[in-house]
Structure 1
Amino acid sequence: MKKFWEVKQLANEEADIFIFGEIVSFKWDDTDTTAASFQKDLKSLGEVSQINLHINSPGGSVFEGIAIGNMLKKHKAHVSAHVDALAASIASVIVASCDEVIMPENSMLMIHNPWMISMGNSKELRKTADDLDKIAESSVVTYLAKAGDKLTEEKIKQIMDEETWLSAQEAYEYGLCDAIESSNRMAASVSEKLFEAYQNVPDELLRPTPKANLPEEQRKEVIANAKQSKALMSDILGGL
């Protein structure tokens, strides 16, 4: 079965990278993406001049995602991000770290504040809230660097506060997308369990995709992705 994390060498000068699942701190199986696994496979590509990142992810661990984004920023190759269906939470930060962002007109970005499960006394919980604000700043910097003068700090913080689901056109208007392509038939492939963590999920993402519209291989990918959600929820601490 095709991995949700995969690297494909197209030629000596070009390579495809696929992140089609959650971004986690610890690998449960071969379908997971961690910063360590990403770094290892990225290094194995050698001296390529073009990287095509295909992403369809609900997000996951914030620090793993920031590390992945920084790897792509520093890479000598020109990196084009293709949002095949959804880049949510920290996945949208990874996308914003790329040189170029391309979105089919039916794909989406989801941007929100970091969250975590926490317990403790009042002093400890206040510190946790302060820590989350500091963590959020790293994402703000990345979004603003991508958007240029199309997005203000005040506006991106509002977008994050409101857990905003951006269409390709909206992402383009905010400078978070460079080009819009015609619609594709890629399924969102995000488990219902993970959607429960979000408040403003668009209705079209909650509706099941008719089986007749999905090839058999793609249906298998959707099923496999859903099976990962239970393990991910225990790994989401500090996640976006």
Structure 2
Amino acid sequence: MIKQHPIRIFNKAGDPPAPQNKHWYSLKASGEAETRSIEVYVYGEIGTWGITANQFVRDLAALDDGVSPIVVAFNSVGGDLFDGLAIHNALSRLGERCTGRVDALAASAASVAVCGAYKVVIASNAMLMIHNPWTYAAGDAEDLRKVATALDQAMEAIIAAYKAKAPDIDEVELRRMVNAETWLTASEAVALGLADEVGEGVSVKACLGQGGALQRYQHAPQALLAQLDEPPEPGPEPTPAPIPPEPEKPPIVDSTKLALLITQSCTAAGISNLIESLISNTKLADEATVNAALTNAKAVRDLCVAARLPEFTQEFVAAGLSAEAVRGRLFDKLVSGGGFEIDNSLPISDDPVPKIQAKQPDPPSIWAARQSAQSGQSKSAKGTRT
């Protein structure tokens, strides 16, 4: 049995990435004396790269002089809920000096964090998303009951954070929207009191940068997801540069060979029904793309089989979903289906060799055998002469 302490509650994220030299926030101060101001950018998944809200709070305190206005800009799919609550409380302590700004998206834990600001300005084409807390858990029934209790408590913390920003909000309606995973436009957020005013719009597509994570959510707006497939907008004309030497021509791709690779690999893995989808998705671009798609397809198949929903494998692969996105979709389907089915049987590959059962004693047969043996011995003795 595996127990995880403390409980980390996410916005349908997978396991946090290993610590690297990356950040999900940045801070800068500009101006001097009376014109000094501080800008903070939370442009990433809160709590990733091994950096917690504790470090965020320390960095902000080191830059803050106690009087300068602070603007905290958000473009985040969310992250660790408790880190989001810690940021919420840190911004709340700054009082009227703090303005929260939603540049593109403040989802899940990020929506909790931004509501800690004294004033919240949301861009006209930005969105705020609110939903239930979510986590992974393992253990026995008592462990899982404790996790469920922790999630209930986390839910109350979320409601309290939103009501701190919008004290007049109808709590029954707020809980309904949180439970339904609600995506709020700028005007809707202002109407509810979770934002104070609508600001100038920004290029949402230019700010997203987290498209893969958006696919974790069940009700992400299609208009928002559609932007992920659009080509980037052309920038200003670059300064002419010296003409570089002619690059080497790329190797010729053997489409037939790659199609054969997909066919043979799928047949060997028992996923022949995915051949057509994989050929369509990869467009037989190159061997690396094909191998990556095959690896992902096998992972998706394994997840669907583990969830006892193998019938969704082809649908998920055809949609080009990653294993991480599929994990979130399967969780939603299991929950909406009315509960979980616990399977305590051993995997087929681990089934023990059947044991040979000993034959049960048969008293009548044993008695008959003894009588026959004794009778034979008596006859033998009578035929012996000295």
TM superposition score normalised by structure 2: 0.51
How far apart are 1:154 and its partner, in Å? 1.0
Aligned pairs (5 A) from 1:119-134: 119-134=138-153
How far apart are 1:215 and its partner, in Å? 5.0
Structure 2 spans left out of the alignment, 5+ residues: 1-21, 237-321, 326-386
Aligned pairs (5 A) from 1:125-144: 125-144=144-163
* Secondary structure class of the residue paired with 2:135: coil
2:225 & 2:217 partners in 1: Cα distance? 12
% identity of equivalent residues: 35
2:152 & 2:142 partners in 1: Cα distance? 16
2:99 & 2:152 partners in 1: Cα distance? 29
Contact 1:144 1:152 in 2 (8 A): no
Runs of 4+ in structure 1 deviating by more than 4 angstroms, as ranges, are none
Cα offsets for 1:95-122 (capped at 9, x unmatched): 1110001011110000001000112333
Identify the structure with bigger relative contact order (alpha carbons < 8 Å, sequence gap 6+): 1
Aligned pairs (5 A) from 1:198-237: 198-207=217-226, 208=228, 210-213=230-233, 215=235
Cα offsets for 1:168-210 (capped at 9, x unmatched): 0100110011010232113352534422331100001211263
Aligned pairs (5 A) from 1:99-110: 99-110=118-129
Amino acid at match of 1:106: N
Cα offsets for 1:136-166 (capped at 9, x unmatched): 11111110111121x1211111111000000
Contact 2:71 2:101 in 1 (8 A): yes
Contact 2:96 2:119 in 1 (8 A): no
Contact 1:113 1:161 in 2 (8 A): yes
Q: Where does residue 180 of structure 1 map in the other structure?
A: 198
- Asked if 1:6 corresponds to 2:26, the answer is yes
- Asked if 1:95 corresponds to 2:117, the answer is no
Amino acid at match of 2:155: A
1:109 & 1:173 partners in 2: Cα distance? 12
Amino acid at match of 1:65: G
Query: Over aligned residues, Cα RMSD in angstroms?
Result: 2.4
Aligned pairs (5 A) from 1:185-200: 185-187=203-205, 188-200=207-219
How far apart are 1:214 and its partner, in Å? 6.5
Aligned residues: 212
Whose helix proportion is higher, 1 or 2?
A: 2
1:161 & 1:50 partners in 2: Cα distance? 35
* Secondary structure class of the residue paired with 1:183: coil
Contact 1:66 1:90 in 2 (8 A): yes
Amino acid at match of 2:167: G
2:87 & 2:52 partners in 1: Cα distance? 8
* Secondary structure class of the residue paired with 1:81: strand
2:70 & 2:55 partners in 1: Cα distance? 17
* Secondary structure class of the residue paired with 1:87: strand
Whose strand proportion is higher, 1 or 2?
A: 1
Contact 2:95 2:117 in 1 (8 A): no
Amino acid at match of 1:200: H
